[in-house]
Amino acid sequence: MTAITNLLDLDPDALVNWCQSRGEKTFRARQLQRWIHQFGESDFEAMTDLAKSLRDKLRDLATVTAPDVISDHTSADGTRKWLFDVGSGNAVETVFIPEDNRGTLCVSTQAGCAVNCRFCSTGKQGFSRNLTVAEIIGQLWAAEFMLRRSKGVAAGPKGERQITNVVLMGMGEPLLNYEPSVAALKLMLDDNAYGLSRRRVTLSTSGVIPMIDKLSQDCAVALAVSLHASNDRLRDDLVPLNKKYPLADLMAACTRYLDFAPRDFITFEYCMLEGVNDSDQHARELLALVASVSCKFNLIPFNPFPQSGLKRSSNARIRAFAQILMDGGIVTTIRKTRGDDIDAACGQLAGEVQDRTRVRERMQTMSVYQEKYGKDFGRIVEISG
C-alpha cells in the first residue's frame, strides 16, 4: 500500500519536494500551502484552482489531519484552552490569550516534559513522547480556524487573523524536540502559510545550549529562557538541566544568539517562589548575572499545585523584586495571571498525559542528538529524570 502523507507534517521545503517527487511543479506546493494554512482547508476537492488530476492524486496520497479536540474551555477572562488528543492515552494543551492589540497562542511541543522543573506541573507528569510537525503546527491550524468560525471571520489571507503571536511555551522543551519544532516554526513564518514576523514568534527553553546555538543558524526567532534562579546552586535544584549547562555558559549562549535574533534582547522568565528565589539578594545577584546580556525580565507569579511544596510570592514581594531590577536598568514586567480558573495559567498545563517516563526511549533520543551534534549535548536524561 502507498503511504498516506499528512501534509501538515511538511514544512515549505518538504512540501515542494513532495510535490516534485510526484511530478508536480513547484508552484503547486505554494498553492497547497495557502489552501491548508491560510484557508484552513482539508478537503482537496474544495481547492478549486488545483488541476483535477492533482486533486485526484491528493485524494489517494495525502491527508490534512490535525489532532482531535478532546475539550475546549474558555476562561472568565477570555483565555481559551484546548486539550488535543495525540494518541495512546496522550494529550497536549494549547492556550489562546486574547489582548486588545494581539492574540497569543501558547503551543506544546512534547507530550509531557523530561526537564522536570520543580515549579512546573507538566514536568511532574513525566515524559511520554515528542510531537510530530503535524501535531505542533496542527495546534495553530486548528486554533486559528476555530477562533475565526466562532467570530464569523472569513477564512483566507484577507480574513482578520485571530492569532498574531505564537509562543512555544506549552508542554515540553522544544529544543529537545528540535527538528519538528523548527519545521513548525518555518511554517509559522512562511508567507504562503501564516506569515508571522520572527519578532512575533517566541521559543522558550530551559537552556539546552547546543540547540540554542543551532537554532540561531536554522531559524532565529525571539528567544525566552526559563531562568528562575540567580545562582547555580539554586538553579540546580529548580531546573535540573542547569547541572549540565550552568549559568555562565547559558549567559554566553544568550549573548551569541543575540547576533542573529530578531529582537535586541533575550527575555528571561522568572517564576516567583516565596522564600526560595524572591529575596532582595536574589534580585541583586540577577543584576550581576545578566550584566553582559541585553535582556528583559518577565516575573511570573507561581501557580501552586499540590506536588510542588512551593508557594507563590506575595504581590508586594514581587513588586519590590521588580523594582530592584528596574532600578538596575533592566526592563521588567510582571506577568498577568490568565486562565487560572481553567488551569491554563503558566506552569499549570498538565492535560491528561499519562505518567510514562520511558527512560529507554529518552536515552535513545539523547543518543541521536549526541551523535549528530557532538559530545557537548550530553546525557540530559541523567540529570532530569
List, for residues 336-368, the tens digit of each pLDDT value.
875 565 454 544 445 444 444 443 444 454 445
Domain membership of residue 28 as a residue range = 5-63
Instruction: Find the CATH number of the domain harbouring 18.
Output: 1.10.150.530
Tally of CA atoms within 13 A in the half-sphere of 186 that contains its CB: 21
Of 63, 90, 110, which marks where a domain is finished?
63
Task: Say if residue 257 is in the same domain as residue 138.
Answer: yes
What is the CATH classification number for the domain harbouring 236?
3.20.20.70
Examine the domain organization and report whether 233 and 112 are in the same domain: yes
Please identify every residue annotated as catalytic.
Answer: 93, 346
Q: Residue 380's pLDDT is what?
A: 33
Same domain (yes/no): 51, 127: no
Are both 346 and 240 inside the same structural domain?
yes
Short-list 337, 366, 13, 29, CA closest to 211 = 366
Whether residues 165 and 216 fall in one domain: yes
pLDDT along the chain (385 residues), means of 10: 90 97 95 97 96 95 97 92 94 94 96 91 86 98 96 87 96 97 98 97 98 98 98 97 98 98 98 97 98 97 87 97 98 80 49 44 47 45 32
- The verdict on 187 and 332 lying in the same domain is yes
Q: Is residue 135 located within the same domain as residue 92?
A: yes
User: pLDDT value at position 372?
Assistant: 56
Please check whether residues 354 and 252 belong to one and the same domain. Answer: yes
- CA–CA gap between residue 108 and residue 132 (Å, rounded): 11
- How many other C-beta atoms can be found within 10 angstroms of the C-beta atom of residue 25? 12
Residues 178 and 41 in one domain: no
Same structural domain for residues 119 and 263? Answer: yes
As for how many domains the chain has, the answer is: 2
What is the rounded distance in angstroms from the CA atom of residue 60 to the CA atom of residue 74? 38
- How do residues 2-36 score in pLDDT, each as one tens digit? 789 999 999 999 999 999 999 999 999 999 999 99
Same-domain check for residues 185 and 226: yes
Give the model's pLDDT for residue 121: 84
The verdict on 244 and 325 lying in the same domain is: yes
